[in-house]
Structure 1
């Protein structure tokens, strides 16, 4: 059985979007390509099971390069042994040539047996100030130079480094965050990101990557749907009710979205004015009931259903009935092109043929010169601007949204890209 080792900041039951992503990826690699994952949690205080969905889970004893090195050595069971190269000589005798051939074959065998480590990187996940020097030290000790590299490192940058105003700590810590990110970039033989902004940040440091990576080699794949990927046969993309809406997100995002939806309700074209609204996700929140009452006071004919802590299958069935989703993913100061590709809500909308209506005018929803066809908006900052399709165009747009998702973000396709990056063929199913 082919194995990879995934290093993550946290796993369930701790709340972690990155942990959820890693588990989902592991399931896709197993289901589609027969590749097993072993998890290494970079938090010694994590409290979780030894197995999640039959994936073995381990954690570092402390946040140090030595603790991580010892754990990985024990897990890889000696696969990281290096072959000592023969010294070079201007003139080699026959017996020396034989030794050189033997060493070369041994080195190639060791290279083939290199354990593959998939690092899910975000600085704040491994150190509270976003400067995990212990992780950087481990990479320095084990991945340089290439000839002696003990591991094949594939990195998913969930965040490269952070930025902030002078009165926040990330402003002053940014030089160290950049330094560590550069170390991770240099150690990586393959790099994944979910958006172009992260790719641009990484591209600045690629000249220092000894694997000869270029900007064109960065794998850009939007986050895939967290609520499944129904087939065309399971979806009705033609006759959905055009006045059925949803808002989805974590506890805070759902409350923020419902609050701003109250502000924009009057700007929604009459033919799409909501008659039903599903509120999906997060934990039970009393504020949702209060906001729902205000919304129904504005629109007495509107029915609202609230589904906190919802099961995946139920959420998928609700997405499959909706025409529009109101998405207040980013605050005005956070808006940057393509960051919406980090949103599992946006991905779930696309996988179900739901049209996304943003609280800002989104300009960065293009992958490989292929623009997302289902992005609309009602701006809430500055002057109000409104963008909606015509009712007659809805069936065709739903179809195009669904097709775009499967061209760029489906779980199987992204898992294949990871398998290729790890140079693992698997057994595609």
Structure 2
């Protein structure tokens, strides 16, 4: 059996930096190695990234300057030569204002220099929008233009979001017909078995980045209190970087500030808890690694209302509970049904499934 050629993977950052896209890419690289023998050579697109020259045997280079010349030098010189690039694209990961002209211009030159080269792009985001006073409003057209160019340049595209797939189809005038939509997987592991809620402690977890967790305690406090009362929660575990808030109790329930923990530690915490709370736009749950972690660990995912729109096969009351718009009382029995549905939904795009899909895209011959 022929050993597959290595893949050059371009990402914004890798551990030890806190970077969800980097964690995603590293977990995927591990699975591609185990399941398909595909090795990955990482190229970090952040000149200020500080880390080792390899992780678990995966070589790492970085651009020292965000320029076309430096990118091509890294791709053609410093890296193991590879005919295939896997780009994890999120504009703000490669440029402060989300407009990485150097990256797109460089990849156009690299791709067109030889007919045997392949570019596969995973679009984690396309372009930003915002109010007229925000820079994203004024830069949105340029961000969109770069996403269009990249989609047309790519031999194959993948994305994490249904609407992104529809836009990519439009961007390429139908060139990209089959665009796999893969909601993100859990970056903290996927336990082989999850215990029923009745076998767990009456604990609720608030997990994620600082800003997301601050929203839970500030904007969603009433909903959090109601949830804790209905589920008879005895303890709230706050897991992640410091929020800058003083947390001790919520409606008489003690809050235990766990701080940053390793992936195995977080996984153990989730498996012993019954619910995970989030304050995140429900239209974009397919992009949330926090939501993915709750689903993969068999918790009741609980959030608040953002939109009537339901996408990516997810429905309120079936795959997650809206604490500020309850359709009834949240009992452990109702919660178990939701946790089961969320877990089942997650298995359709877990890490093994995604590795198989990425391998197909990476090993396919150019059209």
Please state how far the C-alpha of 1:196 moved relative to its aligned partner.
1.7
- Contact 1:259–1:291 (8 Å) recurs in 2: no
Aligned to 1:87: none
Looking at structure 2, the residues matched to 394 and 26 of structure 1 have their Cα atoms a distance apart, in angstroms, of: 34
Looking at structure 2, the residues matched to 127 and 133 of structure 1 have their Cα atoms a distance apart, in angstroms, of: 8
Aligned to 1:274: 233
- Contact 1:261–1:326 (8 Å) recurs in 2: no
Does residue 130 in structure 1 map to residue 91 in structure 2? no
Please state how far the C-alpha of 1:273 moved relative to its aligned partner.
3.4
Does residue 319 in structure 1 map to residue 234 in structure 2? no
Mark the CA change 1:182 to 1:65 in structure 2 (over 3 Å): closer, same or farther: same
Please state how far the C-alpha of 1:390 moved relative to its aligned partner.
4.4
Question: Which structure has the greater CA radius of gyration?
Answer: 1
1:213 to 176, 182, 206: 176
Please state how far the C-alpha of 1:205 moved relative to its aligned partner.
0.5
Please state how far the C-alpha of 1:249 moved relative to its aligned partner.
0.8
- Contact 2:129–2:136 (8 Å) recurs in 1: yes
Looking at structure 2, the residues matched to 193 and 64 of structure 1 have their Cα atoms a distance apart, in angstroms, of: 26
Aligned to 2:344: 403
Mark the CA change 1:424 to 1:308 in structure 2 (over 3 Å): closer, same or farther: farther
Any residues of structure 2 matched to 1:146-161 within 5 Å, and which? 148-161=114-127
Aligned residues: 360
Looking at structure 1, the residues matched to 60 and 7 of structure 2 have their Cα atoms a distance apart, in angstroms, of: 12
Once the two structures are superposed, residues 192-240 of structure 1 have per-residue CA deviations (whole angstroms, 9 ceiling, x without a partner) of: 1111232233232021x7xx322xx1111111112211112xx212524
Gaps of 5+ in 2: none
Aligned to 1:192: 158
Please state how far the C-alpha of 1:182 moved relative to its aligned partner.
1.1
Q: Secondary structure at the match of 1:56?
A: strand
Looking at structure 2, the residues matched to 140 and 313 of structure 1 have their Cα atoms a distance apart, in angstroms, of: 40
Aligned to 2:360: 420
Any residues of structure 2 matched to 1:33-112 within 5 Å, and which? 33-75=36-78
Q: Secondary structure at the match of 2:339?
A: helix
Gaps of 5+ in 1: 80-113, 380-384
Looking at structure 1, the residues matched to 261 and 77 of structure 2 have their Cα atoms a distance apart, in angstroms, of: 39
1:201 to 162, 167, 171: 167
- RMSD of aligned alpha carbons: 2.6
Mark the CA change 1:322 to 1:238 in structure 2 (over 3 Å): closer, same or farther: closer
* TM-score, scaled to structure 1: 0.77
Looking at structure 2, the residues matched to 193 and 12 of structure 1 have their Cα atoms a distance apart, in angstroms, of: 22
- Contact 1:76–1:115 (8 Å) recurs in 2: no
Looking at structure 2, the residues matched to 200 and 122 of structure 1 have their Cα atoms a distance apart, in angstroms, of: 17
Please state how far the C-alpha of 1:51 moved relative to its aligned partner.
0.9
- Contact 1:144–1:187 (8 Å) recurs in 2: no
Mark the CA change 1:420 to 1:67 in structure 2 (over 3 Å): closer, same or farther: same
Aligned to 1:139: 107
Looking at structure 1, the residues matched to 314 and 20 of structure 2 have their Cα atoms a distance apart, in angstroms, of: 27
Once the two structures are superposed, residues 20-71 of structure 1 have per-residue CA deviations (whole angstroms, 9 ceiling, x without a partner) of: 2111211121222221110111223322211122211101232222222222
Aligned to 1:178: 144
- Contact 2:320–2:342 (8 Å) recurs in 1: no
Mark the CA change 1:181 to 1:278 in structure 2 (over 3 Å): closer, same or farther: same
Please state how far the C-alpha of 1:241 moved relative to its aligned partner.
4.9
Looking at structure 2, the residues matched to 59 and 44 of structure 1 have their Cα atoms a distance apart, in angstroms, of: 6
Please state how far the C-alpha of 1:424 moved relative to its aligned partner.
6.6
Please state how far the C-alpha of 1:266 moved relative to its aligned partner.
4.8
- Contact 1:361–1:376 (8 Å) recurs in 2: no
Aligned to 2:247: 291
